[in-house]
Amino acid sequence: MIQGTEGNHKPFELARKKKFNLKESFFLSLIRMLGFTGAILLIIILFFVAYNGIHILSWEFITQPPVEAMTEGGIFPVIVGTILLTIICMIVVIPIGVTTAIFLAEYSKPGFILNMVMMSMYTLAGVPSVVFGLFGLSVFVVVFNFGMSLLAGALTLAVMILPYIISTSEEAIKAVPYSFKEASLACGATKWQTIRKVILPTAMPGILTGSILGTAKVSGETAPIMFTAAAFFTPGVPRSLFEPVMALPYHIYVLATAGTFIEETRPIQYGTALTLIILVFGMNLLGILLRARKRGKKAW
Amino acid sequence: MVESSSDKYIFEINNFSIFYGDFMAVKNVNLNIEKNKISAIIGPSGCGKSTLLRALNRMNDLIFTSRVEGQAFFQGVDIYDRDTDVIELRRRVGMVFQKPNPFPSSVYENVTYGPKIRGIRKKSRLDEIVENALVRADLWKEVKDKLNESGMSLSGGQMQRLCIARSLAQQPEVLLFDEPTSALDPISTANIENLLQELQKTITIVIVTHNMQQAARISDYTAFMYLGELVEFGETDTLFVNPQNKLTEEYITGRFG
């Protein structure tokens, strides 16, 4: 009886299968095409910037200061400015972010306080970057009286990137196997000893990766620094935390909108953009490699 | 604090219950565990045997919603008393888990983890502790030339013995085993069982196991738990040959579980 049923169904099933495959392959190619859109866009942008900027990129360009009202010369102080802003931002934000992540992942109990912290974090992450710029202006520049300065800009960037650092660090901490924690506590370690000796070292690659990717994000931001740190022009590199700095994204913005030689400085604009992209791309690559290495080594 | 009436028992558990939120996982257990013997706790999944074991060194503290009623004494000290030093308790009552869980560091680092957090820094002293613990865990011969290799590069059975060595490095008086061989092959299991019988000469062992044959092979006393209650407890030979309770009989003869 069973065999009979199978026989009856065979041609019918085959026909349906064929139709199904057609539909399947249609959607598959559609998804494939749409999936490539992102990659194609990225390639077009990269190519566009590289095509326009590559001929100006030279050793002189990245090691000389701008001259002749920024229509000639290089962008050395601009690069230094961006690197300084990013580094100081990270020095400030990583300890705060990782500490908060430890609190959230290990100490907080579900309840009102945790909900409040999480909600503020999500809200903060969704705030547009120009609002952080205004916040930085009113708090760091005016109230703390840092003036338009490296410090005010770095702190503003730190506030902006904090939620990102917290959430990536928290994920890294939560990814540490529970059995490690159990083993440590069963050895008579205190909670803090467990965090310091087992959880943090294990989570460190993940925390570092998150921080590096955060760094890449920070270095390309314009809005948070335009009211707090970025100068139209400085004669050289900053000598203290309280001096304004030039920065790559703001330099592009200034040259492209505010100068009197907008057309004449196009090559410099593209060169600066290319430098920024290379910087960001390099840092992302570092983060990705670090993550890949961690994945490769992971044995649990 | 109530003092223990006898030196014979290392754990004395009186009317002891454990809750997870509103759920009563262990119900009114009375149980005395004898020093320098192997006691096994058997029972079907979810009967509360692991929960009871984990109460003995307060590993249940990790679960926010857990609480206990009644009393459990370790060497006459109330385990759940507010003044009890949990850290010291866990040093003296070590634990080995179901899945071997060495830290992702070297064999040496794994064994010295406990001693180091207790402030032992001298290299010669640590070397001595490592050798001693690994010899006791029957692992020294296999790893003495690769102390600096990752503990995770060892085989499953070796990893589990490394975890035992890590506990032994703390000079515990009791070792709690939570189904220590359920993730291991038969040969590694036999090695661990032999090791437990060797260790029993110097320390007390409490083992939770799924495997009734294992309990019958290695333990001096066996407790049978069912739905959070301690159904029967007695000498292993008696319990397996001549169970007093109908449930115990049905379980050990394989009629449920």
Q: Which residue is closest to A191 within chain B, CA to CA?
A: B87
Q: Taking a C-beta distance cutoff of 8 angstroms, is the pair A221, A153 a contact?
A: no
Q: Taking a C-beta distance cutoff of 8 angstroms, is the pair B218, B206 a contact?
A: no
Which residues from chain B sit within 8 angstroms of residue A184, using beta carbons? 103, 113
Report the alpha-carbon distance of residue B166 to residue B153 in Å, rounded: 16
Which residues from chain B sit within 8 angstroms of residue A202, using beta carbons? 104
Which residues from chain A sit within 8 angstroms of residue B114, using beta carbons? 187-189
Report the alpha-carbon distance of residue A283 to residue A281 in Å, rounded: 5
Pick the most confident of A63-67, A148-152, A240-244.
A148-152
CA distance A94 to chain B (A): 24
pLDDT of residue A5: 47
Helices A266-297 and A200-219, packing angle to 10 deg: 170
Question: How do residues A39-62 score in pLDDT, each as one tens digit?
Answer: 899 899 889 888 888 888 888 777
Report the alpha-carbon distance of residue A279 to residue A270 in Å, rounded: 14
ipTM of the complex: 0.88
pLDDT of residue A193: 94
Which residues from chain B sit within 8 angstroms of residue A177, using beta carbons? 101
Three-state DSSP state, A185: helix
Read off the pLDDT band of A295 (50, 70, 90): low
Q: Do B103 and A182 touch (CB under 8 A)?
A: no
Which residues from chain B sit within 8 angstroms of residue A188, using beta carbons? 87-88, 90-91, 114, 117-118, 170
CA distance B225 to chain A (A): 24
Q: Do B87 and A198 touch (CB under 8 A)?
A: no
Question: How do residues A118-157 score in pLDDT, each as one tens digit?
Answer: 888 888 888 898 999 999 898 988 889 888 888 999 999 9
pLDDT of residue A299: 52
Length of chain A: 300
Residue of B137, B134, B116 whose CA lies nearest to B125? B116
Q: Which residue is closest to B162 within chain A, CA to CA?
A: A183
pLDDT of residue A10: 55
- Facing A186 at nearest CB: one of B59, B102, B117: B59
Q: Do B87 and A179 touch (CB under 8 A)?
A: no
CA distance B251 to chain A (A): 30
Read off the pLDDT band of A68 (50, 70, 90): low
Question: How do residues A194-226 score in pLDDT, each as one tens digit?
Answer: 999 999 999 988 898 889 888 888 888 888 888
User: Which residues, in sequence order, are CB contacts of A183 under 8 Å at separation 6+?
Assistant: A198, B97, B101, B102, B103, B163, B166
Q: Taking a C-beta distance cutoff of 8 angstroms, is the pair B29, B229 a contact?
A: yes
Question: Residue B86 region, left (φ>0) first, then alpha (ψ -120 to 50), else beta?
Answer: alpha
pLDDT of residue A1: 43
- In which residue ranges of chain B is pLDDT below 70? 1-6, 257
Helices B156-168 and B107-117, packing angle to 10 deg: 20
- The CATH architecture one would assign to domain B9-252 is 3-Layer(aba) Sandwich (3.40)
pLDDT of residue A18: 57
Q: Do A185 and B59 touch (CB under 8 A)?
A: yes
pLDDT surpasses 80 at A7: no
Report the alpha-carbon distance of residue A90 to residue A83 in Å, rounded: 11
Three-state DSSP state, B197: helix
